[in-house]
Chain A
Amino acid sequence: MSQDFRLPAGGRIDRSERLNFTFDGQTFTGYRGDTVASALLANGVHLVGRSFKYHRPRGIVTAGVEEPNALIDCNITAQEKGTREANNRATFTELRHGLTTKSVNAFPNLNFDIGEINSLMARFIPAGFYYKSLLVSTGMWHRVVEPVIRRAAGLGVTDEVADVSRYDGHYLHADIVIVGAGPTGLQAARVAAKSGARVVLVEQDTECGGSLLRDPVEIDGMDADLWVATVEAELAAAPNVRVLTRTTLSGIFDHNMLTALERVTDHLDVQDAADDHRPRMRWHRVRAKQVVLATGSFERPLVFRNNDLPGIMFAGAVETYLQRYGVKTGNTGLFLVNNDMALSAAIKAKDAGIDVTVVDVRSESTGPNTERLMAMGVPFLTNHTLVEAKGGKRVKAAVVAPMNGDGTAISGEMRTIECDFIGSSSGYNPIVHLHCQSGAKLDFDPTTACFVPGAPMGATPTISAGGCKGLFSLNDALASGASAAQEAMDALGLQAAEATVVSASEEAHPGSLHIRHLWLLPTDKPTSKGGKFWVDFQNDVTAADLQLAVRENFRSVEHIKRYTTLGMATDQGKTSNINALGILSDVLGVTIPDIGTTTFRPPYTPTTFGAIAGREPGDFLDVARVTPMHDWHAEHGALFEDVGQWKRAWYYPKAGENMHAAVDRECRAVRESVGILDASTLGKIIVKGPDAAEFLNRVYTNKWMKLGVGRCRYGLMLGEDGMIMDDGVSSRVAEDEFLMTTTTGGAANVLSHLEDYLQTEWTDLKVYLTSVTEQWAVASLNGPKARALLSELCDDVDLSPESFKFMEWKEATVAGIPARIFRISFTGDLAFEINVPADKGMALWTALMTAGAKYGITPYGTEAMHVLRAEKGFIIVGQDTDGSLNPHDMDMSWIIGKDKDDFIGKRSLTRKDMSDPMRKQYVGILTDDPKEVLPEGAQLVNVADAPASAAPKSPVPMQGHVSSSYWSSAAGRSIALGIVKGGIARKGETLIVPMPDGRNVKVTLTDTVFVDAEGARQHG
């Protein structure tokens, strides 16, 4: 299709670059510099979407980010999969060659949408109809009614496969961030740049210029283009300035933490984007000392009957399409205004050869724009209302009539004026979103009928300037840009540079609006009858809906929003909220500021998930930690278990072995000969300082003051609630130094727990903590042959049981590597834990494996480790305990230092319930059938309560649960551990485990040690 509505010349488009794109399968052309919206309009396409609820035909109404109607799904690259993006604003989507776009919310197609039946039923489905009807049963709702609603709702369609694009995050620091590079922001940036501040200027548009892009007036005798180019060159030359275009400042958080989305490759032609090495988007996190907002204003439309027909748009949008894109929005235009400024659009339209009629709702219209239009011979109706727009998928005509004096009713003959577009303006709303996000309030300016920034609040207030401050004159805006920057420089303590004084001709931009507030144009029928007055276009909220909400006593603006869905669409009320407040103020009989606004929340415009997530998903999310011996495990067929952030060898199946067989082999090797475990992942914290022993004494339940250098001790750490938090062996390295070990998953928590106490509670203690988890590699030799093996590689320490006792550690050389050997055991067998510097871990491991071959040394993983320790009844914090168990519960009362002054959790342990004999307690659990291995997490019940089915209808009293359960070759049967109400006193009792398959398995409560009950082996 040819671009019939493209003006022969003008605009900022590059006519030398024709770009092909498709919309709903049809191919169109546009030019470089177009948006999808401007290109569609150039081709005469106005019907671009369907509304959310009634599926009304809708057209493009704006030329910017606030667009509520023209949403399109895009495929950014030629690939069909992984690039589909739903709900893009056609008015803010740069046209590029090869782009595929689709309208949303229409089936089977945009022209004939079956959903439009909702529009015919509109009378029966007003705001909130669903609360009052469809009161079906819960089952009917989910199965029958809701699926219909869900299919009808929603707008675009999201991709089904993973996004192919890359996204990146970026951190910026700035003395001053200026948001918006229109005349105000450019002027502010100039001053800040000259003052020597680090400046970041953020502009969402493709280029700097702001309002000058659609209205290129003269500034300082210069053409606006030249002026912008001059300022840009000045800024580009300054090393302290960074200008980010195509970047939306989306959020302001506490202490001027700003977020901004930069679109890096979305404007490139499809093939170029696919080949580009850069990320698709960058998510900037900006720390700003000062923030100047120069975000301008949005126009708002007048509300009249059928004001949603395609072809009815904002007056400023008509002007933008003409001036910036060289596109006529039609051939016969009607402009409906209540202010002076909007008339400039009518002038531009007339200049472009469009037949123009002006309907001005004011009783008098006398400004220079009016005079000019009159002089141009444009029919100009004052004190007229637009009674109704006529048309279907495009506006065809407007019915107008004179009004009475107060604008509440029509007062004369209605007449019909044919037109193929209407440009409407009810004034301008400063873009105060970011101001409000920073925590500041708003004031209402009755003269211009809009909210303007109120007094700044908080420690880091933002400074508003220009249009977003309610300054609509270009000269005022330019001056306020400079003074805002100077104010920011003062706050920074910098000598503010003098502003280069610039001025635009008053005539071009008078800034005075002479606005008449008419929130709802008078018509011949009530708002609830004969056609709708649309307020929120996308969500189909009408004036009658607002009135209905108030009638039903939804009077708070938040209630009205939630009841009618006003302002909840993808434009978040940018085009609708002030009109709604105006209408509500008439209905409620209170002023607009008394109604107040809903909260402005981030983001300013919808922001891509992937960009916010950046590089994190996938490989960089909680980057896996691996030990120095990891590659060896992988090469030897280990499967890995995620423990905290670590990859730990789980078990090492040999060919043909299943998990059970492999784990059983590994366990037997430890009990019969020697096994080796990579224990590098355990948390290791150096506790150093004159008060190190005192510190341990306070964080562990047992006593630490007298532990000798060279000795090791097991400790239990409680939370403030007296519940077990972590455990591990700590060893005294020197009088003032301990090496603490923690569980693998708990290391980080323990360190911050300890630091918390050191830094906030016990500031008097002279102790430093240092994590050395990664600095040491640990190979743990376990089994009766451990000593024999180790002695082959270590000749500088006497390993005999007499001189190197259980729970001691020594410096030694193992396989030529300086090492620390700890005689501690988590298997209950003879064990040596050999610690070497991390970079020697692999050398140690391979030396042990080589020397151990003749003993049949067997690497074992976490699963075998779990079995071996369970055979001994050793607890695993987080498996056998769950944050609700204290040391008494775990039958570990022995570890509580009786006469200690204090330790973390001591007070809580004195509470009545903490020693209740019927608390859940740690026991062994043996199945009657020794071959039955219970599932971990199975519950136990009393025999008398055994349920008749797997899913009993009413609650069955539970006694406890199975926390650990394994096959044990050493015990020759299955073994299990668990916690049971009053369990310690109930050993010998029979209970029932009701299985998920409905079987009731009989078990007996026992002691928790299943192998080597006297504990001789570990001392061996």
Chain B
Amino acid sequence: MVAQPAKKQRFNALALFRNALSYHQNWEQQWRSPEPLEAYDVVIIGGGGHGLATAYYLAKEHGITNIAVLEKGWIGGGNTGRNTTIVRSNYLWDESAAMYEHAMKLWEGLTQELNYNVMFSQRGVLNLAHNLTDVRDTQRRVNANRLNGIDSIYLDAAGVKKVVPGIDLRGGGRYPVMGASYQPRGGTARHDAVAWGYARKCDEMGVHIIQNCKVTGFDIEGGVVKGVQTTKGRIGAKKVGMVPAGHSSVLASMAGFRLPVESHPLQALVSEPIKPTIDTVVMSNAVHAYISQSDKGELVIGAGVDQYISYGQRGSQHLAEETLVAICELFPQYKRMKMLRQWGGIVDVCPDASPILTSTPVDGMYLNCGWGTGGFKATPGSGHAFAAHIAKGEPTELTAPFALSRFETGFLIDEHGAAAVAH
């Protein structure tokens, strides 16, 4: 027995109109909730954006549709639904740039691809430079981006002011804005819609999306994965792709290997919704803050990670405070804005702040994790590349540099040290 595809009714204005006539009584399920089968060709662990995208591209590009996506809670409920939705590809290193630019190109057609409005908005992303070292590093990154075919330009302070009229270039005097890198194709997207859109298409092709199904162990025989133990029983699998975000090291230890990953809380907050006040995404590494305005009107604000290690999806108060200090420094007119909600997620961070997309010591088991604070922007690219890796059973040009073995060889892709950019 295999999972059955089910052609979906297409989303468009006409469908909306037609359904309105029947008082929206006839919309079908966006994805179904089947009971798990005994076995699948591929089991994906983790129903976040990356896991669902992996399943989608496995089905669509590699013809593997007998797939289950196992999600311990509700799909998109981890970092997919907790991040600040920033999308950009202006990374320093070639390996990263290739991955994130691959994702960017997929983002640019994702709404059509999924027939689901993910509201990818190319409102542009600024990474601010506040001192001479920042300027030097920013220009280095912009030059590298340019030669990697990425639309990155350097703006001086006046150029920044033109793009974001509301910014205080003096930054209160302490952190003057001296310039910025600007990626016009960068922007934001509707995070939940990404998970739902992929889920809907997965379901259409027959992929099983199984929520409230926690993995409790692996069946490994002779170094080869045979299946997973879950709260819904054993599920056989020829291949297992793990995309577990904050809990990657927990799953790896179940499978008998260790990861160079630390899990930290990462916080974000939103203001009350207001009429449009800032159109561009503004990020500053020096003051550890980034800000954009959602289509709903909320200022969406992110911080750096909490320094301690934790699985609690909440952070410490002082970090949110420091982030708001930085925002009030750059945008003193927002002091009278009000914080509506603050929350946290768990990010798994590698020593070099780059992800892991890799085969593992267990045959048939593949791992995609370690996206740290910047995974959302990579969602389509990560899923696409990881699907190819799983389908072929070996690294692809895109995934090869991100192998687990790099921590043994020392071939690190150190975005931490070098890019000097908040992710």
B-contacting residues of A (Cβ < 8 Å)? 52, 82-87, 123-124, 126, 129-139, 141-142, 146, 149-151, 153-163, 165, 167, 251, 253-254, 257, 259, 285, 526, 528-529, 544, 548, 551-556, 558-559, 562-563, 565, 568, 570, 572, 599, 601-603, 606-610, 612-614, 616-619, 621-622, 624, 641-643, 721-723, 745, 878-879, 882-884, 908, 911-914, 916, 935-939, 941, 947, 950-958, 961, 994, 996
Q: Does B130 contact A552, Cβ atoms closer than 8 Å?
A: no
A556 closest partner in B (C-beta): B74
Asked whether A601 lies within 8 Å of B342 as measured between CB atoms, the reply is: yes
Q: Within 8 Å of chain A (Cβ to Cβ): is B229? A: no
B338 at the interface (CB under 8 A from A): yes
Is there an interface contact between B339 and A606, defined as CB atoms closer than 8 Å? yes
Contact with A along B359-386 (1 / 0, CB 8 A): 0000000000000000000000000000
Report B's interface with A, CB cutoff 8 A.
Answer: 11-13, 15-17, 20, 23-25, 27-33, 73-77, 81, 94, 97-98, 107-109, 111-112, 115-117, 119-123, 130-133, 136-144, 146-149, 151, 154, 166, 168, 172-175, 187, 190, 192-193, 196-197, 211, 271-277, 287, 293, 295-297, 312, 314, 316-317, 320-321, 324-329, 332-343, 351-352, 406, 408-412, 414, 416-418
| In the bound complex, CA of A1017 to CA of B286 (Å) | 39
Sample 29 A-B pairs with CB under 8 A, ordered by A number.
A86-B336, A124-B16, A124-B17, A130-B117, A133-B16, A134-B117, A146-B119, A149-B295, A150-B293, A158-B275, A159-B336, A528-B23, A551-B24, A551-B25, A553-B29, A556-B73, A568-B296, A613-B328, A617-B328, A618-B173, A721-B351, A878-B133, A882-B137, A883-B418, A884-B412, A914-B410, A937-B136, A955-B94, A958-B147
A381 → B minimal CB distance (Å):
30
Tell me if A618 and B172 are in contact (CB < 8 A). Answer: yes
Closest to A725 in B: B417
Question: Which of A558, A562, A617, A935 counts the most B-chain CB atoms under 10 A from its CB?
Answer: A617
Q: Among the listed B25, B166, B174, B312, which residue makes an inter-chain contact with A622, where contact means beta carbons less than 8 Å apart? A: B174
Most buried by A among B23, B336, B337: B336
Q: A618-B172, A619-B173 are in contact. Are A142 and B325 (CB under 8 A)?
A: no
Distance (whole angstroms) from the CB of B58 to the closest CB of chain A:
22
Which residue of chain B is the closest to A86 with respect to CB atoms? B274
* B27 in contact with A551 (CB, 8 Å): yes
B274: which A residues are within 8 A, CB to CB? Answer: 86-87, 154-158
Instruction: Please name all residues of chain B whose beta carbon is closer than 8 Å to the beta carbon of A952 when the two chains form the complex.
Output: 146-147, 149
Q: Is A154 touching B297 in the complex (CB atoms < 8 A)?
A: yes
Report how far A607 CA is from B132 CA in the complex, Å. Answer: 35
Contacts A133-B16, A570-B340 known; 10 new A-B pairs at CB < 8 A: A129-B16, A131-B117, A135-B112, A138-B109, A141-B120, A156-B275, A253-B316, A614-B325, A958-B147, A961-B144
Residues of A within 8 Å of B140, CB to CB, are 936-939, 961
Q: Which 6 residue pairs are nearest across A and B when measured between Cβ atoms?
A: A883-B417, A154-B297, A610-B335, A937-B140, A911-B410, A937-B139
Q: A608-B336, A950-B146 are in contact. Are A884 and B414 (CB under 8 A)?
A: yes
Task: From A87, A139, A251, A610, give the contact of B272 (CB < 8 A).
Answer: A87
**Residues of chain B with a CB closer than 8 A to A911's CB:** 408-410
Select which of B94, B175, B412, B417 is within 8 A of A621 by beta carbon.
B175
Contact B271–A947 (Cβ < 8 Å): no
Indicate if the CB atoms of A562 and B332 lie closer than 8 Å. no
For A883, what are the chain B residues with a Cβ–Cβ distance below 8 Å? 414, 416-418
Chain B residues positioned under 8 Å from A158 (CB to CB): 274-275, 277, 333-334, 336-337
Q: Quote the shortest CB–CB distance from B1 to chain A (angstroms).
A: 22
Q: Are A607 and B338 also in contact (CB < 8 A) when A126-B24, A526-B23, A883-B416 are?
A: yes
> Is B321 touching A613 in the complex (CB atoms < 8 A)?
yes
Q: Residue of B at shortest CB range from A863?
A: B132
Residues in B whose Cβ lies below 8 Å from that of A150: 276, 293, 295, 297
Cross-chain contact B15 with A132 (CB below 8 angstroms): yes
State whether B317 touches A163 (Cβ < 8 A): no
Q: Distance (Å) between the CB of A640 and the closest chain B CB?
A: 11
A142 touching B122 in the complex, CB below 8 Å, given contacts A86-B272, A606-B339, A994-B147: yes
Which residue from B94, B97, B324, B417 sits with its C-beta under 8 Å from A609? Answer: B324
Which residues of the partner chain A approach B27 to less than 8 Å between Cβ atoms? 548, 551-552
Residues in B with CB closer than 8 Å to A551 are 24-25, 27, 29
B411 and A913 contacting across the interface, CB-CB below 8 Å:
yes
Nearest A residue to B146, CB-CB: A951
Do residues A601 and B341 form an inter-chain contact, with CB atoms below 8 A? yes
Residues of the A chain whose Cβ atoms lie less than 8 Å from the Cβ of B192 = 562-563
Q: In the complex, A912 Cα to B409 Cα: how many Å?
A: 5
By a CB distance below 8 angstroms, the chain A residues around B333 are 82, 158-163
Docked-complex contact A251 and B317, CB < 8 angstroms: yes
Inter-chain CA distance A544–B19, complex, in Å, is 13
Docked CA distance A162–B30 (Å): 46
A157 touches B325 (CB 8 A): no
Q: A133-B117, A135-B117 are in contact. Are A156 and B149 (CB under 8 A)?
A: no
Q: Are B418 and A558 in contact (CB under 8 A)?
A: no
Hey, which chain A residues are within 8 Å of B411, CB to CB? 913, 916
Give Cα distance in the complex from A84 to B120, angstroms: 32
> In the complex, what residues of A have CB within 8 A of residue B197's CB?
131
Min C-beta distance of B195 to chain A, whole Å: 10
Q: Do A956 and B147 form a contact, CB below 8 Å, given A153-B296, A913-B409?
A: yes
A884 partner residues in chain B, CB cutoff 8 A: 412, 414, 417-418
Chain B residue nearest in CB terms to A258: B317
A130 vs B73: C-alpha distance when bound (angstroms):
25
A contact residues around B320 at 8 Å (CB): 612
Quick one: which of B120, B173, B273 has the most chain A CB within 10 A? B273
User: In whole angstroms, what is the CA distance A599 to B120 when docked?
Assistant: 27
- A161 to chain B: which residues have CB within 8 Å? 333
Tell me the smallest distance from the CB of A434 to a CB of chain B, in Å. 14
- The answer to whether B332 touches A617, judged by C-beta atoms less than 8 angstroms apart, is yes
Report B67 CB to chain A, min CB distance, Å: 18
CB distance from A442 to the nearest CB of B (A): 17
Q: With A87-B274, A132-B11, A135-B12 given, is the CB distance from A610 to B328 under 8 Å? A: yes
**Closest residue of chain B to A866, judged by CB?**
B132
In the docked arrangement, what's the CA distance between A683 and B412, Å? 29
| Interface contact A609-B154, CB-CB below 8 Å | no
CA distance A236 to B6 in the complex (A): 71
Whether B414 pairs with A138 at a CB distance below 8 angstroms is: no
Instruction: Indicate the member of B144, B272, B334 with the most A CB atoms within 10 Å.
Output: B272
Pairwise interchain contact B343-A599, C-beta atoms closer than 8 A: yes
Given A135-B112, A154-B297, also A613-B147 (CB < 8 A): no
Residues of A within 8 A of B271 (CB): 606, 609
Cα distance A883–B133 in the bound complex, in angstroms: 14
B11 and A135 within 8 A (CB): yes
Kindly state the separation between the CA atoms of A624 and B172 in the bound complex, as whole angstroms.
Answer: 12
Task: Determine the residue in chain B with the shortest Cβ distance to A914.
Answer: B410
A156 to B320, CA, bound (A): 24
Contacts of B412 in A (CB 8 A): 721, 884
Query: Residues of A contacting B211 with CB < 8 Å?
Result: 556
- Nearest CB of A to B13, in Å: 5
Contacts of B112 in A (CB 8 A): 135, 137
CA distance A172 to B58 in the complex (A): 56
- Does A528 contact B329, Cβ atoms closer than 8 Å? no
Contacts of B144 in A (CB 8 A): 939, 958, 961
Residues of A within 8 A of B136 (CB): 879, 936-937
Contacts of B172 in A (CB 8 A): 617-619, 621
Beyond A141-B121, A610-B328, whether A996 also contacts B147 by CB under 8 A is no
**Considering only CB atoms, which chain A residue lies closest to B131 in the complex?**
A642
Query: What CA separation (Å) do A962 and B164 show in the bound complex?
Result: 30
With A130-B117, A884-B417, A884-B418 as given contacts, are A947 and B24 in contact (CB-CB < 8 Å)?
no
Is A124 touching B20 in the complex (CB atoms < 8 A)? yes
Are B173 and A253 touching (Cβ within 8 A)?
no
Closest chain A CB from B62 CB (angstroms): 25
Residues of B within 8 A of A641 (CB): 131-132
Q: Are B273 and A621 in contact (CB under 8 A)?
A: no
